[in-house]
């Protein structure tokens, strides 16, 4: 019942468009997106349609001809019942303006009764009764929130206003949009970066899905005729609104679709209250004589059932329409005598979204890319009179749908003909939509070979048969030798140069039972290694035929520490035993070396030195003062290549 009442209201409002001022021409509702934008260096706005460049698939703006750009505008909405855009002038009197399809502007009245706030967000209700605008503080920023909803009654020539306060609201949004099918109102919150649903009747707002989406703000929201929600806004990490986003109404997920021109200080609206058509094909690639299904989706968001519509699709020559698999719209099938033409007259398109599915057979001599569009004709002039189909898999607007017909080919010579001894070689047909007959009457897309010989295949479609043969040979022998095993101490490196015999080119893969970081070049033939623990290192070599040979070596790592720390020294300048330092079999890394007196005062410290570095040791001084003969405490920390450490503490006697 509520749907019937809403529909009746829209019809009544449509009849009222007769009384519009004739000097101002309305827009035609074809599903376009509109954007008002104030340039960085300017004080006034310009009005654009939002387009997708067919070559780059980036967003571009096209000026609406005849638009008077002497106004500072924001908070705009498209009214379906008269096809005008209503917008608020950003001045002290908050003037309500009406924009026509010819770019002309009519000043309706000054809304001086409105609170002195910033009015950025707006949309017209689906029944065309109201322009709903929302205000935010003048000093808005992160953490600010919208304050109210203002209803401007567009049915009354005096355009009275009514305010609904947004009590306890925490959301900041710069535009609103109504779902053309459900009437639900949506916004995008910049504080929590989340889609929100706004109940315009009581002012309550709730988030949809998770916050923290990839857009920090959206100055413009749009619905299309299929009920899909889009936004043009600022992506995370950017300072400019230059990205077109698609927004899932159910989950709130925001997905970036493409980028384009910057659109800061802007607002947007659209007219989704129309009829649109998409055309898709499954699969997108086929063979001559193959069959595909074309799917035509019709979205009717124009508020009423549309009768007497003509559906027409003239497909490329050589295509044959085999069956209308699905048609919920009825109508009269027109016989033209041409198998590639489908014409349905007097179809009835109800509100909502539904589809026609048609099975098509491709001719035997066709090959290449074939494009075309379907048309819905006999639409009302207010909806453009007709609409062409759009390919839903591209961002381009009203573009043709392409089918790639590729001739059947069988070329076994392009495949590997070498079988590795003791292994299996797989020969494969490259088309799933063809049938194959192999050696020994085996059927299937793939055929496994284990020994040399001549093998043949027959590939067949409904109208093509292709043959090919291949001679399979054993691959040349492949061997690899990496050498013997190693005994090393922790920190040592090993360099290995393997001996490889076979037919290249080769690919190399080193692996280990130790940490992978101990392999300096995992994909090189010659590599070096710094093992941390006892480990096995394996080299696997693959040749051009895919055959693999491997060899390995074992490394035993001595993790013991061989150092000697003296218990006395005599720093008297005689050239013998003048420094206290750590000595050892290998030049281990010393992370820190410290000396303390018996009261715990640190007298000497150094870092990042090596074992056996005499001059880096302690010379018996604390600063410039010579220490008296006594017993002192040392602390030594050694570090190793695997990140481990060893601590040593003891006493040393200073003798003069």
Dihedral, 605, 606, 610, 616 alpha carbons, nearest 10: -80
The predicted-structure confidence for 429-442, as pLDDT tens digits, reads as follows 888 888 999 988 88
Q: Final residue of a domain: which of 364, 383, 405? A: 405
Range(s) of the domain holding residue 333: 275-405
Is the peptide bond between 162 and the residue preceding it cis, with omega within 30 degrees of 0?
no
CATH of the domain at 504: 2.60.40.10
Q: Tell me, rounded to whole angstroms, the distance of Cα 521 from its chain centroid.
A: 33
Other beta carbons less than 10 A from residue 533's beta carbon: 15
Same domain? For 393 and 426 the reply is no
504: buried, middle or exposed (CB in 10 Å: 19+, 13-18, 0-12)?
exposed
CATH of the domain at 581: 2.60.40
Same domain? For 424 and 364 the reply is no
Same domain? For 628 and 554 the reply is no
Same domain? For 253 and 291 the reply is no
Same domain? For 551 and 607 the reply is no
- pLDDT lower than 70: segments of the chain: 1-22, 39-43, 140-141
Same domain? For 552 and 570 the reply is no
Helix (H, G, I), strand (E, B) or coil at 427: strand
pLDDT for 202:
94
Same domain? For 376 and 466 the reply is no
pLDDT for 15:
35
Same domain? For 162 and 280 the reply is no
Is the peptide bond between 607 and the residue preceding it cis, with omega within 30 degrees of 0?
no
- 550 bridge partner residues: 540
What does the alpha-carbon distance between residue 540 and residue 123 come to, in Å, rounded to a whole number?
66
Both tokens assigned to 477: 């022998």
Same domain? For 252 and 373 the reply is no
Q: Final residue of a domain: which of 533, 558, 583? A: 558
Same domain? For 11 and 100 the reply is yes
Query: What are phi and psi for residue 463, nearest 5 degrees?
Result: -135, 5
pLDDT for 97:
96
CB 526 within 8 A of CB 498: yes
Q: Final residue of a domain: which of 215, 247, 270? A: 270
pLDDT for 434:
87
Both tokens assigned to 251: 């989950």
- Rg of the chain taking only CA atoms, in angstroms: 40
596: buried, middle or exposed (CB in 10 Å: 19+, 13-18, 0-12)?
middle
pLDDT for 604:
97
What does the alpha-carbon distance between residue 405 and residue 363 come to, in Å, rounded to a whole number?
10
pLDDT for 495:
95
In whole angstroms, how far apart are CA 507 and each of 113, 417, 513? 78, 19, 21
Same domain? For 441 and 322 the reply is no
Same domain? For 245 and 387 the reply is no
- 3's enclosing H/E stretch is helix 2-16
Strands in 179-304 per DSSP E: 185-189, 194-198, 205-208, 215-223, 229-235, 243-247, 254-259, 266-270, 275-282, 285-286, 291-300
Domain total of the chain? 5
Q: Smallest Cα–Cα separation from 329: which of 342, 348, 313?
A: 348
- Note the maximum CA span of the chain: 120
CATH of the domain at 297: 2.60.40.740
- 12's enclosing H/E stretch is helix 2-16
């Amino acid at each position: 019942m509520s749907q019937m009442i809403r529909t009746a209201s829209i019809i009544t409002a449509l009849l009222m468009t007769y009384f519009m001022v004739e000097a101002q021409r309305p827009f035609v509702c074809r599903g376009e997106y509109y954007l008002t934008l104030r340039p960085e260096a300017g004080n006034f706005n310009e009005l654009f349609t939002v387009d997708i460049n067919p070559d780059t698939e980036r967003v571009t703006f096209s000026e609406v001809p005849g638009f008077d750009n002497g106004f500072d505008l924001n908070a705009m909405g498209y009214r379906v019942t008269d096809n005008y855009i209503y917008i608020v002038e950003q001045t002290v009197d908050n003037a309500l303006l009406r924009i026509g399809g010819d770019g002309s502007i009519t000043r309706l009245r000054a809304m001086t009764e409105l609170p002195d706030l910033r009015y950025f967000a707006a949309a017209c209700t689906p029944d065309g009764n109201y322009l709903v605008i929302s205000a935010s503080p003048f000093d808005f920023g992160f953490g600010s929130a919208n304050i109210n909803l203002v209803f401007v009654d567009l049915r009354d020539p005096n355009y009275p206003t009514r305010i609904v306060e947004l009590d306890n609201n925490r959301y900041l949004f710069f535009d609103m949009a109504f779902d053309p099918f459900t009437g639900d109102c949506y916004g995008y919150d910049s504080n929590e970066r989340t889609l929100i649903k706004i109940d315009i009747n009581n002012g309550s707002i709730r988030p949809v899905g998770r916050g923290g989406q990839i857009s920090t703000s959206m100055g413009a929201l749009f619905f299309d005729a299929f009920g899909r929600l889009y936004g043009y806004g600022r992506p995370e990490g950017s300072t400019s609104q230059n990205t077109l986003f698609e927004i899932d109404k159910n989950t709130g997920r925001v997905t970036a679709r493409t980028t384009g021109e910057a659109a800061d200080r802007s607002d947007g609206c659209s007219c989704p209250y129309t009829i649109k058509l998409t055309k898709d094909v499954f699969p997108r690639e086929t063979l001559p004589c193959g069959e595909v299904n074309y799917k035509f989706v019709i979205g009717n968001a124009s508020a009423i059932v549309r009768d007497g519509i003509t559906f027409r699709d003239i497909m490329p020559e050589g295509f044959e329409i085999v069956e209308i698999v699905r048609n919920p719209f009825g109508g009269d099938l027109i016989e033209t005598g041409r198998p590639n033409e489908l014409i349905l007259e007097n179809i009835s398109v109800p509100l909502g979204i539904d589809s026609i599915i048609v099975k098509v057979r491709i001719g035997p001599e066709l090959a290449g890319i074939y494009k075309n569009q379907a048309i819905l004709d006999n639409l009302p002039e207010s909806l453009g009179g007709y609409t062409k189909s759009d390919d839903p898999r591209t961002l381009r607007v009203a573009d043709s749908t392409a089918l790639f017909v590729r001739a059947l080919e069988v070329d076994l010579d392009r495949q590997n003909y070498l079988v590795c001894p003791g292994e299996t070689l797989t020969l494969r047909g490259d088309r799933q939509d063809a049938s194959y007959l192999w050696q020994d009457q085996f059927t299937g897309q793939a055929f496994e070979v284990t020994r040399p010989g001549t093998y043949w295949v027959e590939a067949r479609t409904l109208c093509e048969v292709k043959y090919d043969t291949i001679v399979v040979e054993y691959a040349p022998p492949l061997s690899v030798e990496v050498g013997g095993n190693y005994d090393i101490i922790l920190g040592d490196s090993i360099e290995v140069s393997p001996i490889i015999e076979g037919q290249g080119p080769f690919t190399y893969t080193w692996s280990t039972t130790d940490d992978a970081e101990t392999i300096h070049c995992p994909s090189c033939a010659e590599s070096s290694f710094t093992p941390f623990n006892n480990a096995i290192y394996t080299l696997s070599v693959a040749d051009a035929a895919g055959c693999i040979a491997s060899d390995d070596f074992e490394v035993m790592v001595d993790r013991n520490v061989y150092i000697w720390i003296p218990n006395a020294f005599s720093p008297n300048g005689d050239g013998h035993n003048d420094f206290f330092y750590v000595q050892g079999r290998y030049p281990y890394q010393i992370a820190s070396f410290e000396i303390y007196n018996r009261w715990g005062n640190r007298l000497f410290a150094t870092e990042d030195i090596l074992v056996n570095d005499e001059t880096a040791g302690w010379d018996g001084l604390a600063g410039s003062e010579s220490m008296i003969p006594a017993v002192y405490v040392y602390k030594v920390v050694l570090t190793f290549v695997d990140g481990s450490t060893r601590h040593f503490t003891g006493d040393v006697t200073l003798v003069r």
